[in-house]
Amino acid sequence: MTIERFLTGITTSGTPHLGNYVGSIRPSVQASLRAGVQSFYFLADYHALIKIDDPARIQRSTLEIAASWLACGLDPEKVVFYRQSDIPEIPELTWFLSCVLGKGVLNRAHAYKAAVDKNNAAGSDPDADVSVGLFMYPVLMGADILMFNAHKVPVGRDQVQHIEMARDMAASFNHRYGAHFTAPEAAIEDNVATLPGLDGRKMSKSYDNTIALFVPRAQLQKLISSIVTDSKAPGEPKSVEGSALFQIYQAFASADETRALQQAYLDGIAWGDAKQIVFERIDREIAPMRAAYEALINDPAKIEAILHAGAAKARAIATPFMAQLRHAVGLRDLRAQATTVATMTAKVARPMFKQYREADGQFYFKLQSADGILLLQSKAFSAGKEAAQSIAVLQEQGAKALDKLQEIVQLADGVQAADVDAALAVLREAKAQAKSK
Ligand code: TRP
């Protein structure tokens, strides 16, 4: 089975806070240590340019985010950790993808639509203050993902539409030029907490209610003591329901510790004492990483070297892949033309259906990818004709038919419906081409 590739970008537009740590950094670092996965983490600094035109802030944020992830245990030897702008193939792929994606798809992107709605509500020109960069944001993100043929993209719910668009781009490109891209899937981490901020709303830069991850200990204490609570006096029982302080504690504490604080709430702990407990618990987890962070922040050359090494690993994949894509679309060495046309058609491997009969006398079929990987396996049919009919339905309708054929075919381990869809699209395309010849 192929190794599953995970890929995530972090926009370099701010300073990491506790919400980023709990919701993204901590689970990602843990996931990157699992066996059988290959992880790509990158600093999405091209994306940051869409929102931020303060060069010093971009640079500072890039340094802070890189230092934070490394301090939290991301191992650059084990994962591919790089900076988007160190990979010139990404903007190049962005262009290729923008030539196969319908403009209407981008018109429907949430971020763009929100900007237009706001303008309309204000009676301004619909595109006032909307840059082409904002409009193209999903295509750049698609290039990030497809460049490394990521299977899984851990993102928040707000980003799911972008992953769907990336699948769309992959399918359109594959349809025109052959099966080059894997269809990515969003991996939504539903069991990671979203942390409330100082004011009880979701912790977010846009609410200005964050606690920066690596503030000095004394400042962390001060910030935690400023988390909103109700005005219950010491001795009065307190409710954990809706308590931002309690929720933040929960994201760091063990089940036992959490139960103990819950009891303390019931017993009427004073808010000041509860805050002290929360502070000490968080600091216990953060303090060792804070020391590592400070050392890294003060050694930008070291981070630069780590990112360069990461870019080299990333480009070892991106450069040859981009060469393959350039060839696929027809950006080719002119001298190669005559020979390639002839050999290309002869050589292309395609996905295929295989029908066969087992020793039990029953009929079966399977679908294999171009590289011979099993995608779909049928159950037994008593007649070969029935198997052929199911194949015809799949060929005609693509992966849409999988629902209907649930009882009859099964996805192979680790295979997604989208992989089947891409393979079937290649087959349909080949058939159409054969017909037009
Ligand atoms: N858009 C993502 C965010 O704001 C950041 C990002 C850029 C990204 N490129 C990506 C995430 C590719 C996952 C994959 O959170």
Q: Which residue in 72, 48, 30 sits closest to 189, CA to CA? A: 30
Per-residue pLDDT for 161 more than 50? yes
Do 214-295 and 4-193+299-329 fall under one CATH topology?
no
For tokens 């139960």, what's the residue?
259
State what percent of residues in the chain have pLDDT above 90: 75
The rounded radius of gyration (Å) of the Cα atoms in the chain is: 26
Q: Which residues are near ligand 1 (CB < 6 Å)?
A: 7-9, 11, 44, 47, 141, 144-145, 153, 155, 159
* CA of residue 164 to ligand 1 center, whole Å: 13
User: Percentage of the chain with pLDDT > 70?
Assistant: 95
Residue predicted with more confidence, 392 or 148: 148
Per CATH, the number for 4-193+299-329 is 3.40.50.620
Per DSSP, the three-state class of 144 is helix
Lowest pLDDT segment from 67-76, 152-161, 203-212, 423-432: 423-432
What pLDDT, on the 0 to 100 scale, is given for residue 225?
97
Record the tokens describing residue 363, joined without a space: 């009929």
437, pLDDT greater than 60: no
Q: Which residues pair with 112 in a beta bridge?
A: none
Give residue-wise pLDDT tens across range 47-74: 999 999 999 999 999 999 999 999 999 9
Reading the block at residue 150, the tokens are 């990521």
By CB neighbour count within 10 A (0-12 exposed, 13-18 middle, 19+ buried), where does 335 fall?
exposed
Q: What integer pLDDT is reported at residue 435 of this predicted model?
A: 67
DSSP letter, residue 186: E
Ligand 1 atom closest to the CA of 8, numbered from 1? 13
pLDDT tops 70 at residue 86: yes
Q: Would you say residue 409 has pLDDT above 70?
A: yes
Q: Distance, CA 245 to ligand 1 centroid (Å)?
A: 29
Nearest to 47 by CA among 161, 115, 112, 134: 134
Q: Where are the domains of the chain?
A: 4-193+299-329, 214-295, 349-429
pLDDT for 167-210, tens place per residue? Answer: 999 999 999 999 999 999 999 877 677 899 999 999 999 999 99
Whether 426 contacts 351, CB under 8 Å: yes
Atom of ligand 1 nearest to the CA of 84: 9
333 has pLDDT over 70: yes
**Pocket of ligand 1, candidates 39, 47, 50: which has the most ligand atoms within 8 Å of its Cβ, to mutate?**
47
Question: Residue 363 and residue 383: Cα distance in Å, rounded?
Answer: 6
pLDDT attached to residue 288: 97
From CA 114, how far away is CA 127, in angstroms rounded?
Answer: 11
- C-alpha–C-alpha distance, residues 94 and 99, integer Å: 9
Residue 365, judged by CB atoms within 10 A of its CB (0-12, 13-18, 19+), counts as: buried
Mutation to probe ligand 1, out of 69, 144, 153, 204 (largest number of atoms < 8 A from CB): 144
Q: What local confidence, expressed as pLDDT, does residue 91 receive?
A: 98
What is the mean predicted confidence (pLDDT) over 138-157?
Answer: 95
Domain 349-429, CATH: 2.30.29.80
3-state secondary structure 204-222: CHHHCCCCECCCCHHHHHH
Mean pLDDT of all residues belonging to the chain: 92
pLDDT at 374: 87
The residue among 87 and 388 whose pLDDT is bigger is: 87
Q: Who contacts 106 (Cβ-Cβ below 8 Å, separation ≥6)?
A: 112, 135, 136, 138, 139, 165
Residue nearest to atom 10 of ligand 1 (CA): 9
Ligand 1 mutation pick, 40, 162, 165, max ligand atoms within 8 A of CB: 162
Q: How far is the CA of 203 from the centre of ligand 1 (A)?
A: 19
pLDDT value at position 348?
59
Write down the pLDDT at residue 431: 77
Ligand 1 atom closest to the CA of 150, numbered from 1: 14
Whether pLDDT at 343 is above 70: no
User: So what's the pLDDT on residue 415?
Assistant: 80
Alpha helices (H) along 330-361: 337-347
pLDDT tens-digit readout, 234-277: 999 999 999 999 999 999 999 999 999 999 999 999 999 999 99
| 14 — pLDDT class (breaks 50, 70, 90) | very high
Mean pLDDT of 280-304: 98
Fold of 214-295: Tyrosyl-Transfer RNA Synthetase (1.10.240)
